[in-house]
């Protein structure tokens, strides 16, 4: 599982690199575009995801101790928090469609002469948050599968490797968001 | 397979710390620190990553090989970024004909 996570780091790493390069090339426009994102929603969603990591780790702990009921409850909570995160993300994306901040023919970002770099920012925003959300959806699938097996009583203190690995994946996706949040929402906020 | 079980209290402390750090990084983002804004935001992100990796992902109880592999991953990512910038940042330095 750790090896898979290493490949994932490189997968996301390439996109982070693309973001860094273009942000260095067009700092002013990226700052303006970044400031148009709602930082409070972003921070709240970060908190939701951190809470889901907390319930996940409690679930893994319950599995280690063989507490089947606590395991199922914590997986359900993790799943619910994951859906809250995705729901908020969907709401944020919807706002972008209304504001014409989605890259494409109807794209328009107010107050900048060069629309190209602004589109680039939102392309990266959608690609990276979208890829992250896809990981969340896959994570929700893994959680559902773990939940079904947990309810069936398949996991015990002697056999809980799937829970452990599912937890590693969930925390990894959390870490990706820990970096996406400051890069997209925070670092140019003071310039506005 | 590690079978080191942390207490709920440990996890709760880490969880609260993560939430506080999120609040701090959001608040600091509104303060003009010049170029240090990026450094502060990313430093806090790295601290949060370490907390999640070491405690929630049990990396501090993992074997040395796993720890080394994760450290190497971060290192290679750093090399990738550094070398890319060595290229991108210096491209304009020499007047290459045709560009």
Q: What is the mean pLDDT of chain A?
A: 93
Task: Please tell me the CATH code under which domain A2-191 is placed.
Answer: 1.20.120.80
pLDDT tens string A97-108: 999 999 988 898
Instruction: Assign B1 a pLDDT band (cuts: 50, 70, 90).
Output: very low
Residue B99 has pLDDT above 60, yes or no: no
Q: DSSP label at B98?
A: T
Beta carbon pairs, A and B, within 8 Å: 120
Quote the pTM value: 0.91
pLDDT tens string A129-153: 999 999 999 999 999 999 999 999 9
- Residue A43 sits at the chain B interface (C-beta within 8 Å): yes
- What angle (nearest 5°) sits at the alpha carbon of residue A84, between those of residues A66 and A103? 135
**Mean predicted confidence (pLDDT) in A167-175:** 96
- Judge whether A30 and A184 are in contact, CB under 8 Å: no
Residues 52-81 of A with CB under 8 A from B: 53-54, 56-58, 61, 64-65
| Nearest-angstrom CA–CA distance, B90 and A65 | 56
Residues 1-30 of A with CB under 8 A from B: 2-3, 6, 9-10, 13, 16-17, 20-21, 24-25
Structure tokens at A170: 């969930």
Domain ranges, ordered by start, for chain A? 2-191
Check residue A71 and give its pLDDT.
96
Residue A190 has pLDDT above 90, yes or no: no
Query: Which of A6, A171, A186 has the alpha carbon at shortest distance from B48?
Result: A171
Residue B88 has pLDDT above 90, yes or no: no
Residues 16-75 of B with CB under 8 A from A: 18-19, 22-23, 25-26, 29-33, 37-38, 41-42, 44-45, 48-49, 52-53, 55-57, 66, 69-70, 73-74
pLDDT tens string B30-79: 988 888 888 999 999 999 999 999 999 999 999 899 999 999 999 999 99
Check residue B3 and give its pLDDT.
66
Neighbouring residues of A146: CB distance < 8 A, sequence distance ≥ 6: A75, A162, A163, A166
- Judge whether A85 and A49 are in contact, CB under 8 Å: yes
pLDDT tens string A45-89: 999 999 999 999 999 999 999 999 999 999 999 999 999 999 999
Instruction: Assign B87 a pLDDT band (cuts: 50, 70, 90).
Output: confident
- What angle (nearest 5°) sits at the alpha carbon of residue B59, between those of residues B53 and B64? 140
Range in A9-13, A83-87, B1-5, B13-17 with the lowest mean pLDDT: B1-5
């Amino acid at each position: 599982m750790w090896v898979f996570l290493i490949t994932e780091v490189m997968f996301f790493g390439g996109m982070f690199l693309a973001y860094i390069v273009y942000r260095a090339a067009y700092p002013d426009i990226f700052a303006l575009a970044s400031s148009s994102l709602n930082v409070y929603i972003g921070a709240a969603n970060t908190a939701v995801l951190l809470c889901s990591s907390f319930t996940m780790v409690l679930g893994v702990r319950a599995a280690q101790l063989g507490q089947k009921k606590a395991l199922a409850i914590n997986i359900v909570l993790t799943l619910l928090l994951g859906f809250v995160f995705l729901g908020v993300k969907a709401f944020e994306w919807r706002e972008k469609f209304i504001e014409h901040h989605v890259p494409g023919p109807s794209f328009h970002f107010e107050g900048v002469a060069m629309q190209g770099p602004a589109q680039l920012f939102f392309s990266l925003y959608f690609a990276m948050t979208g890829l992250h959300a896809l990981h969340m959806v896959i994570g929700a699938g893994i959680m559902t599968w773990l939940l079904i097996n947990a309810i069936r009583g398949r996991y015990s203190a002697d056999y809980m490797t799937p829970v452990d690995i599912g937890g590693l994946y969930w925390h990894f996706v959390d870490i990706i968001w820990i970096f996406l949040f400051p890069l997209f929402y925070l670092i140019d906020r003071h310039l506005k | 397979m590690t079978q080191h079980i942390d207490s709920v209290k440990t996890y709760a402390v880490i969880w609260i710390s993560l939430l506080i750090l999120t609040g701090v990084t959001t608040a600091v983002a509104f303060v003009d620190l010049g170029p240090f804004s990026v450094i502060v935001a990313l430093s806090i992100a790295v601290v949060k990553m370490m907390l999640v990796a070491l405690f929630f992902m049990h990396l501090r109880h993992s074997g040395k090989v796993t720890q080394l592999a994760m450290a190497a991953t971060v290192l290679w990512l750093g090399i990738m970024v550094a070398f890319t910038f060595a290229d991108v940042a210096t491209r304009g330095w020499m007047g290459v004909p045709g560009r």
